[in-house]
Amino acid sequence: MTARNVLVTGGNRGIGQAIAEAMQAAGHTVLITSRSGEAPDGLTAVQGDVTDTESVDAAFKAAEEHFGGPVEVVVANAGITKDGLLMRMSDDDFEAVIDTNLAGAFRCARRASAGMIKKRFGRIVFISSVVGLYGGPGQTNYSASKSGLVGLARSITRELGGRGITANVVAPGFIETDMTAELPEDRQKAYKAAIPAGRFATPAEVAAAVLFLASDEAAYISGAVIPVDGGLGMGH
């Protein structure tokens, strides 16, 4: 295993934290970004807000100083939802979700690319959602932002694929988080009935897919969408 310099955006909680912890446990040098600049026990953070180009630049500069070299693996995980029915969705709610989930991921990939090109190695992993390709009522903004990541990864692949850089999308389905735990039991049951695996995923199961895509062994996988959804979407 080659130890890499890894930056996980929004790694202070939820799925991002699980990804950062799994990467660190595997022997990589890991930093997370958090908006507060704080990190959970055992992880190290740089401050960063993905909606702000200068803040992304500052986070990468701090990371490069910490690593003593370029960011080799970037996991664009930071994301938000602002659900609402199409007829009533405000411009602000649409734009805020696109700005964080899609433009935020673009800003990180763009900033990471220079160092990766120089190094002739890079792994860019975008955390999308089953909702990106499957759709979701009340989630036009979220779904559009998450499917946009597919075009982003595939265009990066065509642009930088010859330079040792891969760009892939991981599309989680329902993940065991505080959010899903709070759903009423009958709703949880209905969701689980629609999932071929019959259960929600653990954050660690999402992290395992990211860990593989970041590895040397995954050098020939790029522009792919890897679902971690128990068969809910099956690529749709």
Ligand X SMILES: NC(=O)c1ccc[n+]([C@@H]2O[C@H](COP(=O)([O-])OP(=O)(O)OC[C@H]3O[C@@H](n4cnc5c(N)ncnc54)[C@H](OP(=O)(O)O)[C@@H]3O)[C@@H](O)[C@H]2O)c1
Q: How far is the CB of 14 from ligand X (least distance, A)?
A: 2
Q: Is 45 in the site for ligand X (CB under 6 A)?
A: no
Burial of 42 (0-12, 13-18, 19+ CB in 10 A): exposed
Q: How far is the CB of 169 from ligand X (least distance, A)?
A: 11
Q: How far is the CB of 154 from ligand X (least distance, A)?
A: 19
Residue 142 known to be catalytic: yes
Q: Is 143 in the site for ligand X (CB under 6 A)?
A: no
Cβ count near 185 (within 10 Å): 7
CB-based contacts of 90: which residues, under 8 Å, 6+ apart? 84
Give the angle 207-196-167 at the CA atoms, nearest 5°: 35
Of residues 97 through 126, those in contact with ligand X by CB under 6 A are 100, 104
Q: What is the largest CA-CA distance in the chain?
A: 53
Q: Is 43 in the site for ligand X (CB under 6 A)?
A: no
Q: Is 10 in the site for ligand X (CB under 6 A)?
A: yes
DSSP class of residue 102 equals: I
**C-beta closer to ligand X: residue 9 or 168:** 9
DSSP 3-state of 137:
coil
Of residues 170 through 189, those in contact with ligand X by CB under 6 A are 172, 174-175, 177, 179
- State the virtual CA torsion across 108, 113, 118, 123 in degrees, nearest 10: 80
Among 24, 29, 77, 113, binds ligand X (CB under 6 A): 77
Q: Is 230 in the site for ligand X (CB under 6 A)?
A: no
Tokens, residue 5? 């310099």
Q: Is 215 in the site for ligand X (CB under 6 A)?
A: no
Distance separating alpha carbons of residues 145 and 125, to the nearest angstrom: 15
Catalytic (active-site) positions: 142
Q: Which residues bind ligand X (CB under 6 A)?
A: 9-10, 12-16, 34-36, 48-51, 77-80, 100, 104, 127, 129, 172, 174-175, 177, 179
